[in-house]
Amino acid sequence: MEKNYFLTTLIILLVFLLSITITVSAFQVRLSDRGRDVIEVQKYLETLGYNVSTDGIFGKSTEDAVKDFQKSNNLRIDGIVGGRTLELLKKMISEKVSYELYVVDNGDTLSGIAGSRDVTVQEIMEFNNMSSVKIKPGQDLKIPRDRIITVESQNRNENDKKDNTAAKKTKIYYEVRQGDTLSAIAARRNLPVEEIMNANNLNSDFIKAGQELVLPIVDFKESKASNDSRTKAKAEKNNSSSDQIVHQVQRGDALSTIARMYGTDIDTIRRNNNLNGDRIFAGDELIITNYERGPFSLTRNSLIWPVNGRISSSFGWRTHPVKKTRLFHNGLDIAVPSGTTVKAAASGQVVHSGWMNGFGYTVIIDHGRGVETLYAHNSRVTVSRGSMVNKGQKVAVSGNTGLSTGPHLHFGVLRNEEPLNPRNYLP
């Protein structure tokens, strides 16, 4: 009887181990593969700073990026993304940003994704600035990792008498992940280990995956005295307080997008704010120095006309001149002769420069805060992807490429990938 029990237990254990092995090794994408899994890998690599296009095609550039990643992380350098490479990519992403990057698959629903990630539909919508629950395959979603709860300080008048700060206390609930240590979490949040231990009534620094920790911070917007002293110290370090901006981190922000927004670099932001890594959290305040411009705000007159010409097709529903069907036109068509200089409507970073199906030679500029401008149907582009451009700078030469019936510029404005009417933001 005991022998049979032992054999049964052994078989169950072997099946369990085999299932884990299959699960880990089941994922694999390599050169010439296509599809959603490739897009997922490309998104991870792009977020980590590798120069890849998220086109769902595992080409040579993607393979080279994978090999670079494998080489720098002591993995087998074969350019193939298997279970181990994918696991490390996800782990590094989780350490870099405060959200999980999820690529929508066929059959996905927002409620289903929310349920599988233990968040609410509303939280995902707010985090991604979504106005509708509709999602489509290939769409990127940022799934918030931390539940942030703000509690007003009680007895504010009493606290005012004690220390003049009237601070608002904020607690961030953090779920421990595989490989986390208390000292690493404390370092990423610029908190003393003892403070985290006290907030969680811990007797030792032992933590385990799945455990929920309270990470207390102070909202410096309300705590003026503390904010003034910290700002003063940083100003002394950077010589001049008049040459700095205080940026309050919003949900979905990353150091790379903030640096791009102000025309500075990530290392300068890290140095000015004593950051040990790239993780930042909503509500944090960052000191920005050595910036080229202030934060972009999409308001009336915030953009300039990229070309001067006649509006040949306005924003909204129209009968498409080529397809002869009623379609939504998501920009302005401005009739100009081929060879006209196309100027950047605002300062920002070029995120696309080259051919785009339907649009021909196209330039897309990211201005920060999810705002992009698009310049299409050009004869050629004059800026490269990744370059910074100033308002009024030449970015392309107009033409008649792509799906077009005559020389013109298609000018679009997007916020979080949703098209807006450019006329609302032009002089």
The rounded distance, in Å, linking the Cα atoms of 219 and 150 is 9
The answer to whether 25 and 82 are in contact (CB under 8 A) is yes
| pLDDT tens-place string over residues 357-380 | 888 999 999 887 788 999 999 999
The answer to whether 334 and 409 are in contact (CB under 8 A) is yes
**In the CATH scheme, what is the code of domain 310-425?**
2.70.70.10
List the chain residues with pLDDT less than 70.
1-26, 93-101, 117, 145-173, 186-191, 216-242, 251-252, 293, 318, 320-324
The answer to whether 190 and 274 are in contact (CB under 8 A) is yes
Query: CA Rg, the chain, in Å?
Result: 25
> What pLDDT score was predicted for residue 167?
35
**In the CATH scheme, what is the code of domain 27-141?**
1.10.101.10
> What pLDDT score was predicted for residue 382?
92
| Domain 149-289 falls under CATH 3.40.50.2000 | no
Residue that is written with structure tokens 């972009």 in the block: 296
Domain boundaries, the chain: 27-141, 149-289, 310-425
